[in-house]
A and B are shown apart, each in its own frame.
Chain A
């Protein structure tokens, strides 16, 4: 009896858009983990599956890695390097015991290109021949037995969308798949001594693996090989004329010749071809006028939904969580620990889960657009337009989503395949005015802009709109500038497949939403809680005696609930004497040229947690005063400049502050997500610096002019 407790490592590989994630979800269900492949920000999905042998009833445990979709093992992008590295490096931690090669029955020739490369690596494999329903509908005839004989590996016809043939595939996986014995295309004749040398040095079983390594000899950074092996490898190339481009294309063409012979022996194509359903829809969806009109309508529906449909769940989360916080606050004994948990940790967690409805909503739409095939048409329509700004056709969705919230928007940049264009999109997305700026804008607009009408237009509404426009224009301008600074890592091609339209698979969309929410809660959540604790510390602790005195007075007050006025006054003093307050004072000389005082300085520090905290902080600071019935807006309006006696919040200060909030990177959640998505602190730091600089100088200029 075999040892059934050992987990079999399985890799799933296949072309993009042929149902790879559907099959992965079918095999693993909810037992999925997402991480990045080591050293790169390429998503790595792993899942586990338990398969019972139908003959013996034994349980077999599988760990399945979903490799990024690719057309061949020759890498063109970071995503495509992964399959090559995982499959050609026997010591790679993800190197599989067996491979499921997913093939598209309706385009077998192209699918067999990748499949034959994997077979020639001599790893036990099974070919899952997908879309058998479409194969039949299109009148294509495939003989799976003959295909099996010619390829030398098991072939399982399946229909992943309808879960047909999955059980047979599972049984094939656990029934000791053999190592393929023959090469589909034998590369032995290409540089035989060199390839034999590489095989010997790295202990490889396949000539083809050796050829692949020879073709990437200068980019083996992620390979698990010693310095000595590396030198030995390089030495093998001395005196050998080796042009990897020539060899690659020679090998590809010869491989296709072998494939053509296989196809002729087991596939019969229909004589006539109908105009496809997709081609007819595309007449409308990528039409020069209707195409854009429909796209704008779709965008409109998405943003309306993100704004309005998420309002209820967000309020619900907010209220439930506040209720929960109050219970915890009363339950735990009073003191520093209570304060830390309630105002630091729990406030941080609350600030994270409040984003969940928006993330789920945006990714539901994106998943639908991807799954139906519409997203490729968006790129097609928008590419030229966006390229003028150094962006990509796929940058449109993240940029527009940024109007609701930069956090899900930045997470959605994964659909941009060019590294450079993706980084530029990430860097400029926070310039789009997100919904957290809205409370800040409305407070300040109400303060400085009279509610007059210009014709039919409300002046306050016009100013609000202009702030959104300024953000949008700034994002486009910033893209032009930034893309001039960033060097492309490699020449990237836009070439992509436009898939046929399909009905979305709702389970896939569910999984996609779940993935994104999990990534955000876990990866970005950690950073957000940490910053939240730091901010709690800054605003609730303070140096020196003054702070201690105020703090003591507050704790004496706590039993006396009638004296709210005095309490508010003390809270305000406490904030002034806290570290955050000290920071506000410290910042004052630097922000004075912008028209800000230390009170605004405090708000700038605390609203780093989230921009809307500005309003809350201002409320605390302005809780001083005789009449407690005044709102924070009215109190701010009454505030006088000590030197001039004029209102503190003049038009100049108001604009300066609004523009500061329009540009500054006042959002720890965004920084955390950028760190997650770019894989290093480098980009969030650059982003923070350039946006802060932009905000500072814009406010400086505007205030000095308007003053």
Chain B
């Protein structure tokens, strides 16, 4: 279970995961620029009241990304 990749958008509040890969090349560059490399730990901080965007803690900062953007990030959940 822990080893299968899933989309970041499917995680729940408080869950932690490791960045596996990106499915959109341009977005990958943008995330790399911000220090969000494969292997970094992401924590889901909270969802905006309408379910989107999502606030995530990663690489020492808090980022805000839209749900459809989170769909392009494949992660591995850690317990």
Contacts and interface: CB of A to CB of B under 8 A. Distances in A.
Nearest to A498: B62
A376 B65 CA distance: 12
Given A248-B29, A249-B28, A252-B29, A497 B61 contact: yes
Contacts of B32: 72, 249, 252-253, 256
Contact of A496 (B27, B37, B59, B64): B64
A413 to B, nearest CB: 19
Nearest to A388: B50
B35 A384 contact: no
Contact of A109 (B35, B45, B48, B52): B35
Interface stretch (A286-294, A539-547, A572-580, A651-659): A286-294
B64 A376 contact: yes
B70 to A, nearest CB: 10
B11 interface: no
B15 interface: no
A381 B37 CA distance: 27
Nearest to B31: A495
A261 to B, nearest CB: 14
Contacts of B48: 286, 380-381, 383-384
B55 A107 contact: no
Nearest to B32: A252
A379 interface: yes
Nearest to A109: B35
B34 interface: yes
B59 A279 contact: no
A494 B56 CA distance: 13
B51 interface: yes
Interface residues of A, number: 37
B31 to A, nearest CB: 7
A249 B38 CA distance: 11
Contacts of B51: 384
Contacts of A282: 45-46, 55
30 contacts: A71-B34, A71-B35, A72-B32, A107-B35, A109-B60, A245-B29, A248-B29, A249-B25, A249-B28, A252-B29, A252-B33, A279-B45, A286-B55, A376-B64, A380-B53, A380-B55, A383-B52, A383-B53, A384-B51, A493-B69, A494-B53, A494-B65, A494-B69, A495-B63, A495-B69, A496-B64, A497-B62, A497-B63, A497-B64, A498-B55
Contacts of A381: 48-49
Given A74-B33, A113-B35, A107 B60 contact: yes
Interface of A: 71-72, 74, 76, 106-107, 109-110, 113, 245, 248-249, 252-253, 256, 278-279, 282, 286, 288, 291-292, 376, 379-381, 383-385, 491, 493-498, 500
Given A376-B64, A380-B64, A107 B53 contact: no
Given A107-B60, A496-B63, A498-B63, A384 B37 contact: no
Nearest to B22: A249
Interface in B3-36: 25-35
| Chain A interface mostly | helix
Contacts of B63: 495-498
B61 to A, nearest CB: 5
Given A106-B60, A496-B64, A491 B26 contact: yes
Contacts of A252: 29, 32-33
Given A384-B52, A497-B61, 4 more contacts: A72-B29, A113-B33, A282-B45, A500-B62
Contacts of A493: 26-27, 30, 65, 69
A223 B14 CA distance: 47
Contacts of A107: 35, 59-61
B78 to A, nearest CB: 17
A495 B30 contact: yes
Nearest to A493: B30
Given A252-B29, A380-B55, A494 B49 contact: no
B29 A495 contact: no
A494 B61 contact: no
Contacts of B38: 253
Contacts of A494: 53, 64-66, 69
B52 A286 contact: no
A383 B62 contact: no
Contact of A256 (B25, B27, B37): B37
Contacts of A249: 25, 28-29, 32
A60 to B, nearest CB: 34
Contacts of B52: 383-384
Contacts of A288: 49
Nearest to B34: A71
A396 B38 CA distance: 35
Nearest to A256: B37
Give the interface centre of B26, B33, B34 by most chain A CB atoms within 10 Å: B33
A67 to B, nearest CB: 15
B29 A74 contact: yes
Give the interface centre of B48, B51, B65 by most chain A CB atoms within 10 Å: B48
Contacts of B26: 76, 245, 491, 493
A288 B13 CA distance: 14
Contacts of B27: 493, 495
Closest 4 CB pairs of A and B: A110-B35, A288-B49, A71-B33, A72-B33
A671 to B, nearest CB: 33
A253 B37 contact: yes
A103 to B, nearest CB: 13
A245 B49 contact: no
B50 A495 contact: no
A378 B28 CA distance: 26
A71 B63 CA distance: 13
Contacts of A379: 64
